Amino acid sequence: MHPSKSIIFFTVMSGTGYGIIICLSFLALIAEINFSYGLKLSLILISFLFITLGLLSSTLHLGHPERAWRSFSQWRSSWLSREGLAAVLTYIPLMLFYLLWFLEMDIFKYFLYSASILSVITIYCTGQMYASLKTVPAWNNVYVTPIYLINGLSIGSLSIYCLTRFYEYEIQHLYQFTLLSLALCLMLKIIYWFHIRTKSTSSINTAIGLGKDNKVSFFEGPHTGKNFLTTEMINKIKKEKANFLRLCFIILSCVLPIYMIVQEATLIIDAFILKLSFFITLVFALIGMLIERYLFFIQAKHVVSLYYGENKV
Amino acid sequence: MTSLPEKQNKKLGLVIDLDICVGCHACAVNCKEWNTSGHSSPLHDIDPYGDDPTGVWFNRIHTFEVESEINGSKTVHFPKSCLHCSDAPCVTVCPTGASYKREEDGIVLVNPETCIGCKLCSWSCPYGAREYDEEAGIMKKCTLCVDKIYNENIPESDRVPACVSTCPAGARSFGDLGDENSDIFKLVEERNGYDLMPEQDCLPTNKYLPPREKNNQFKNDALNSITNDNDFSFDTWKEIVEDASK
């Protein structure tokens, strides 16, 4: 599938923003989250900017962005419509949470919880939109939606962790929570990669329909040039390059953050460098996530490629 | 609106005979010709006279090689356009309701006024029937020539899709595939018409008819009678040829 820049940016950024909110609600469940103003303000700004910039970017790939409001109407059947609706609804409790949290009014928790539930629903809808596409076997499985959720959660909690190091603030249980979600994120992705290696549903035989007693092979396409289908649905990446990018994701988004969190105490560097390195860790982790999302698209084969020379999808 | 109709009064669709199609691409050309000035007009081309031309086409002809022990090797030309599925995923994924299936005849259409151009319908279609118009910023597709088949301004015999009326070999038939008494339904029954990618569960309306088995019996018998006849050897041939040259 075509790795559209605006969709990759949208899913990673919004996912991170929602992940921050979900992680905060977990922390609020088990402990007090009355941080310093600086930390609060940073968390509010970062989560708001990530969510909003992501959503705005998602409209960039539309042919008619000015008609985007129409997409709220078909929530009965369309996961994309549900996603849009959930994303907009999230803003209501989210803005109230920001305000009440900043004003230190205790009822902020209820708005945080509702914003968190709606965030989960939004990411769930995004995942389901891909997972429900039978035409792309690499997406049509039980791993895709959990991956979207855990990726958002892991990078969201990592964002909070890096910010707390920046403000030299300790939050109870955040250490374990971040490590656990990062490890889960890595584990799930590796299981997914093994899964898509073997998964296949359609073949040139069923696509042409003559494969029962015959050997069917591709002879020539409808024309010598490219067309909408080949540019949108048929994209290839060399195996070596894909493996290299997978390794980049593992190191940037999982191994490096885990190393930084676990080995922080043993790093003999001055406070400023330490803060800077946590900032860099977060940036690298985000780049790793962008790489992961790029691979999610470029490595997914669409069954229409069976009409353009592929034998099995 | 995005939900599929609960019942279909008619199932208008095409039947494509792979035994007859010669791969001349006339159906694709006439499809473009009719539709670029009809319901979905214009069908934009990008860089049409340049090095890398692309454009909107609703119908394309692919070619495959089909080999079997009985029939040997055969070139199969394979025209493909929208199959107007009964369980069309392109309709249900649409977030705006722009993509819809008509209850009266089962034709799947896109409303150009409300399509936001998100392309999700094209992802959900296993057959590659959807065409995004880059210039217009909306999705377009085969309309089964909805502006031709009901057009009272043209002679009744012309009220079939452009691809059907133009096919010089008669490889394409059009009709109501939901009506068990229709000629087209009987044709599908008789020739074992089949669905493309049934595992995708789209229940396509359009059917394909497989190439007929080759009848090699007569040819084989004639060849065998010559080669098995020991008297009729190479020398006999030589004599005949030499006699003739004298």
pLDDT band at A213 (very low <50, low <70, confident <90, very high): confident
Chain A residues 133-172 with a CB less than 8 Å from chain B: 133-136
Query: Which phi and psi (to 5°) does residue A139 adopt?
Result: -105, -30
pLDDT, mean of residues B1-18? 88
For residue A201, the model assigns a pLDDT of 86
For residue A147, the model assigns a pLDDT of 98
Do A67 and B131 lie within an 8 Å CB cutoff?
no
Nearest to A159 by CA among A265, A18, A30, A7: A18
Do A307 and B68 lie within an 8 Å CB cutoff?
no
For residue B222, the model assigns a pLDDT of 61
Minimal-distance CA residue of chain B relative to A66: B116
- The answer to whether A243 contacts chain B (CB < 8 Å) is no
For residue B238, the model assigns a pLDDT of 76
For residue A169, the model assigns a pLDDT of 85
Domain presence at residue A86: yes
pLDDT band at A65 (very low <50, low <70, confident <90, very high): very high
Q: Where are the domains of chain B?
A: 12-209, 215-246
> Which of B64, B81, B201 is the mutation pick for testing A, counting most A CBs within 10 A?
B64
Do B57 and A227 lie within an 8 Å CB cutoff?
yes
CB contacts of B199 in chain A (<8 Å) are 201-202, 206
The whole-chain average pLDDT of chain B stands at 91
- pLDDT surpasses 90 at B242: no
Nearest to A232 by CA among B44, B35, B133: B133
Angle between helices A174-198 and A144-166 (to 10 degrees): 150
Q: What is the DSSP letter of A33?
A: -
pLDDT, mean of residues B201-207? 97
pLDDT digits (tens, 9 = 90+) for B225-240: 666 655 666 777 777 7
pLDDT band at B2 (very low <50, low <70, confident <90, very high): low
- The answer to whether B98 contacts chain A (CB < 8 Å) is yes
Q: What is the DSSP letter of A254?
A: I
- pLDDT surpasses 60 at B162: yes
- pLDDT surpasses 90 at B215: no
CA A48, CA A56: separation in Å to the nearest integer? 12
Domain presence at residue A144: yes
- The sign of the torsion formed by the CA atoms of B175, B179, B183, B184 equals positive
Chain B residues 53-82 with a CB less than 8 Å from chain A: 53-57, 60-68, 70-71, 75-76, 78, 80
For residue B68, the model assigns a pLDDT of 87
Query: Which residues span the domain enclosing A49?
Result: 5-308
B12-209 fold: Alpha-Beta Plaits (3.30.70)
Domain presence at residue A273: yes
pLDDT digits (tens, 9 = 90+) for A111-136: 999 999 999 999 999 999 999 999 99
Where do the DSSP E strands lie in B5-71? 12-17, 45-46, 54-55, 60-68
Where do the H-state alpha helices sit in chain A?
5-30, 37-58, 79-102, 108-131, 144-166, 174-198, 204-208, 228-233, 239-249, 256-263, 271-298
Do B95 and A80 lie within an 8 Å CB cutoff?
yes
- The answer to whether A302 contacts chain B (CB < 8 Å) is yes
Do A76 and B80 lie within an 8 Å CB cutoff?
no
CA A292, CA A253: separation in Å to the nearest integer? 9
Do A206 and B94 lie within an 8 Å CB cutoff?
no
- pLDDT surpasses 80 at B221: no
Domain presence at residue A184: yes
Chain A residues 72-91 with a CB less than 8 Å from chain B: 72-74, 76-81, 84
- The answer to whether B3 contacts chain A (CB < 8 Å) is yes
Domain presence at residue A313: no
Angle at A254 between CA A249 and CA A259, to 5 degrees: 130
Do A74 and B125 lie within an 8 Å CB cutoff?
no
- State the CB neighbour count (10 A cutoff) for residue A269: 11
Do B136 and A63 lie within an 8 Å CB cutoff?
yes
For residue B214, the model assigns a pLDDT of 76
For residue B239, the model assigns a pLDDT of 76
CA A19, CA B101: separation in Å to the nearest integer? 38
For residue B232, the model assigns a pLDDT of 63
Secondary structure, 3-state, B112-173: CCCCCCCCHHHHHCCCCCEEEECCCCEEEECCCCHHHHCCCCCCHHHCCCHHHHHCCCCCEE
- The answer to whether A52 contacts chain B (CB < 8 Å) is no
H or E element that contains B207: strand B207-209
CA B97, CA B2: separation in Å to the nearest integer? 4
Domain presence at residue A228: yes
- pLDDT surpasses 80 at B111: yes
For residue B17, the model assigns a pLDDT of 98
pLDDT digits (tens, 9 = 90+) for A259-311: 999 998 888 788 889 999 999 999 999 999 999 999 999 999 999 999 999 99
HSE-CB for A73 with a 13 A CA cutoff: 16
Q: How far is CA A159 from the centre of its chain?
A: 14
- pLDDT surpasses 90 at A139: yes
Read off the CATH number of the domain in which A121 is found. 1.20.1630.10
Domain count, chain A: 1
Q: Is B71 helix (H, G, I), strand (E, B) or coil?
A: coil
CB contacts of B125 in chain A (<8 Å) are 135, 304
Q: What percent of chain A has pLDDT over 90?
A: 86
Q: Is B78 helix (H, G, I), strand (E, B) or coil?
A: strand
pLDDT, mean of residues B74-101? 96
